[in-house]
Amino acid sequence: MEVKHFKLISAISQVGSLTKAADKLFLTQSALSHQLKEIEEQLGTKIFNRINKKLVLTEPGKIFLDSSGVILDEISKVRAEIKQHIGGESGKITLTTECYTCYHWLPKIMKNYNRDFPNIEIRLKTQVRNPLEQLLAGKIDVALVYHKLTDKNIEYIDLFTDDVVALVSVNDPLASKQFLIPKDFSESHFITQNRNFEETSFYENFLKDGKIKPKKLTYIQLTEAAIEMVKEGLGITAMAKWVIKPYLDNNRVRVLKLGTRGLKRKWYVATLKSPGSPRFIKNFVEQLKSQISL
């Protein structure tokens, strides 16, 4: 059964003849006769009776017409919703980052973005272990990442480069150093925000080559809670400078470079490559680029 069949039955029931229905649908009477025959053969029953040169619905035809109205209304509704979605009149953006709790920059962006797209909902998906896999699966729309996956379906846009730094209590012996080296972490109690410590950029790019692992690891998801533990001298941590900036109290903690040159990490905005990508997603990416400041 095709959409044209539902349109045909609806048109004939309104005008009462194939000739008038053909004019209404801009088709030939022969084409409509053929379509009507197809429908009746598929259903195994007559849809219309000819009474006084007029086509009158049979009881099965009335059932079909009722369903036609529902189906055609739904099709019209779907088309309207898709048009609104493409035009940015409605829709949602599901967003995630590789830093589970670094969303302090988001309210400002949302405020500006909502002026142009007031009906677009922005949803956060936190604690996503593999953002790019989620992107490819269609479960998120925008990912802020510092790892790249080689896949022709993903588009990456350079966002910024940040510094991963160490955070120690002012009372920690390490606080007197100008920078830290991997060996400084071998006897440390390290506070990590990632359950999979060996997947962090800090471990991969700073500790791994020297086969260094902290003596003790504690997982704490919340940035603020991790920093408070450092302030109390309960451990040390390493985070992106732009993440910890809103929480810093330099009277109680010291921020130290990792290595003589520091540890840099490049961030990207990742989206799916799609010619038909909604305008509101492209605009959101543009605002990310222009408004995230370090």
Q: Is pLDDT of 164 > 80?
A: yes
Instruction: Lowest mean pLDDT of 86-95, 123-132, 261-270, 278-287, name the range.
Output: 86-95
Using alpha carbons only, give the angle 165, 167, 171 rounded to the nearest 5 degrees: 145
**With bands split at pLDDT 50, 70 and 90, how would you rate the model's confidence at 4?**
confident
Average pLDDT over residues 264-272: 90
Q: What is the rounded distance in angstroms from the CA atom of residue 147 to the CA atom of residue 23?
A: 60
Average pLDDT over residues 259-270: 91
Q: What is the rounded distance in angstroms from the CA atom of residue 61 to the CA atom of residue 45?
A: 9
- pLDDT of 101 reads 59
Q: Is pLDDT of 270 > 90?
A: yes
Question: Residue 185 in contact with residue 207, Cβ under 8 Å?
Answer: yes
pTM over 0.75: no
Q: In terms of pLDDT, which residue wins out, 88 or 7? A: 7
Average pLDDT over residues 179-187: 95
Q: Is pLDDT of 232 > 60?
A: yes
- pLDDT of 102 reads 61
Average pLDDT over residues 89-114: 76
Q: In terms of pLDDT, which residue wins out, 86 or 161? A: 161
Q: Is pLDDT of 286 > 90?
A: no
- pLDDT of 294 reads 47
Instruction: Lowest mean pLDDT of 23-32, 94-103, 262-271, name the range.
Output: 94-103
- pLDDT of 83 reads 67
Q: What is the chain's mean pLDDT, rounded?
A: 85
Per-residue pLDDT tens digits for 197-227? 888 889 999 999 999 999 999 999 888 899 9
Per-residue pLDDT tens digits for 21-80? 888 888 888 888 888 888 888 888 888 888 877 888 888 888 888 888 888 888 877 776
Smallest Cα–Cα separation from 5: which of 59, 21, 83, 55? 21
Residue partners of 121: CB distance under 8 A and separation at least 6 = 91, 92, 93
The two tokens of residue 144 are 């802020």
Q: What is the rounded distance in angstroms from the CA atom of residue 139 to the CA atom of residue 94?
A: 8
Please give the domain boundaries of the chain with CATH numbers for all domains. 3-87 (1.10.10.10), 93-294 (3.40.190.290)
Average pLDDT over residues 73-102: 73
